[in-house]
Amino acid sequence: MQAGTARRADDFTVTTTNWRDILPVHPAADLFPLMSESELRELGEDIETNGLQSPIIIHDGRLLDGRNRLDAMALMGLSFEIEKYKQKYKLLGFQVPFTGGIRHLTDADPDPYAYVVSANLHRRHLTAEQKRDLIEKLLKAKPEASDRTIAKQAKVDHKTVGNARAELEGRGDIPHVENRTDSKGRQQPATKPKATSKLNGQDIDVSKLGPKAQEAIAAQTGDVDIETRNAEMAVLDLTPEQREAKKSAEALSEFKFACNTYLPRLNKADAAQARVFFNEWTAKAVKAEAKAKASETAA
């Protein structure tokens, strides 16, 4: 902090081993369970030997990612010096070497829930029960998000999310929303307006059936939810060149997110190699887009 600059009432600089007295926790951090004491001790011993290599992530003034690392350090009695100034946190020093420091998410970064899921799915081997619990937590946090958006974040099939949503709505744990936000931020109706399906010549009120029964009828009648139908029809309307461009753009977007998330944790050699791959994917995506535009002009 510059000399002569006035501090806010809640600004501070402190050396401590107990981060929980200082940093409030973002609700998205609770999507994943904390490590056991034995796991924390093993992590703490590694940090004591090799230092803190991954950044602590802050969003909106609250800890988003890094609880286990800070808990592991506290368990080992490793202190750190932290400053809070104008709603921003800064690590001034650790009892161990650190390269990651603190990173504050900005509007250009992913949604905080999406960030936590992406970062932790690569670190954890979740059981089926833990993955189910993760899906339910995401639905409770963002019931307005579409099944496909949640499924993409949790790396599961959208039907799995749909089944979990139906159970939570049935128990009253989440509200039923008429419109949901898809992965592109568009508002889409949750279901088709039509409430009945014809099966063997008879009208059936599918709204009163469970999700598995609805899926079975949809498989026979061809009825699908609005989101699925729109996604399938959008792909069918594309030319082969446009489909290739779309595929390349999506791959580039995921790779870019991975680079932004993990580059700070890589050594220089691996980071340099990752940048080479990123440049190659960028060139491929640009080439695919140019080819798609050329095909549109020719048509």
| DSSP sequence for 230-279 | HHHHHHHTS-HHHHHHHHHHHHHHHHHHHHHHHGGGS-HHHHHHHHHHHH
Burial degree of 185 (CB within 10 A; 0-12, 13-18, 19+):
exposed
CA angle 228, 232, 234 (to 5 degrees): 115
Domain end point (choices 182, 209, 236)? 236
Using a cut of 0.75, tell me whether the model's pTM lies above it. no
Contact 206, 196 (CB under 8 A): yes
Helices (H) and strands (E) in the chain, counts: 10, 10
> Which residues make Cβ contacts (< 8 Å) with residue 109, sequence separation at least 6?
115, 260
For the segment 62-88, the average pLDDT, to the nearest whole number, is 86
Same domain, 175 and 261: no
- Residue 138 placed within a domain: yes
Same domain, 129 and 158: yes
Mean pLDDT of the chain: 75
Looking only at the bridges linking them, the beta strands covering 196-199 and 88-94 are: unpaired
Alpha-carbon gap, residue 142 to 113, rounded angstroms: 9
Alpha-carbon gap, residue 6 to 124, rounded angstroms: 43
- Residue 139 placed within a domain: yes
Question: Which of residues 286 and 166 earns the better pLDDT score?
Answer: 166
- Residue 59 placed within a domain: yes
- Other CB atoms closer than 10 Å to residue 236's CB: what's the count? 8
The pLDDT value given to residue 68 = 92
For the segment 80-96, the average pLDDT, to the nearest whole number, is 75
How much is the CA Rg of the chain, to the nearest whole Å? 24
Side chain identity, residue 4: G
Same domain, 141 and 218: yes
Same domain, 194 and 267: no
Q: Give the domain range for residue 163.
A: 125-236
Alpha-carbon gap, residue 98 to 93, rounded angstroms: 8
Alpha-carbon gap, residue 235 to 246, rounded angstroms: 9
For the segment 179-190, the average pLDDT, to the nearest whole number, is 68
- Residue 135 placed within a domain: yes
Q: Which of 86, 122, 120 is nearest to 104 (CA)?
A: 86
Domain end point (choices 218, 236, 254)? 236
Straight-line distance from the first to the last Cα atom of the chain, in angstroms, rounded to the nearest whole number: 61
Same domain, 92 and 137: no
- Residue 228 placed within a domain: yes
- Residue 7 placed within a domain: no
Domain end point (choices 217, 236, 255)? 236
Same domain, 129 and 232: yes
- Residue 113 placed within a domain: no
Same domain, 251 and 191: no
Same domain, 138 and 231: yes
Same domain, 18 and 94: yes
The pLDDT value given to residue 52 = 82
| Encoded tokens for 20 | 């929980």
Same domain, 152 and 192: yes
For the segment 141-147, the average pLDDT, to the nearest whole number, is 89
Looking only at the bridges linking them, the beta strands covering 88-94 and 102-104 are: unpaired
Same domain, 272 and 291: yes
For the segment 128-144, the average pLDDT, to the nearest whole number, is 88
For the segment 222-229, the average pLDDT, to the nearest whole number, is 51
Asked if pLDDT for residue 1 goes beyond 80, the answer is: no
Alpha-carbon gap, residue 175 to 166, rounded angstroms: 10
- Residue 286 placed within a domain: yes
Kindly write down the DSSP assignment for every residue of 56-119, as one continuous string.
EEEETTEEEE-HHHHHHHHHTT--EEEEEETTEEEEEEESS-BSS-EEE--TTSPPHHHHHHHH
Q: How many domains does the chain have?
A: 3
Looking only at the bridges linking them, the beta strands covering 80-85 and 12-16 are: antiparallel
The dihedral formed by the CA atoms of 110, 111, 113 and 116, expressed in degrees to the nearest 10: 20
Same domain, 207 and 291: no
Q: What is the pLDDT of residues 234-260, one digit of tens each?
A: 555 567 777 777 777 776 666 666 666
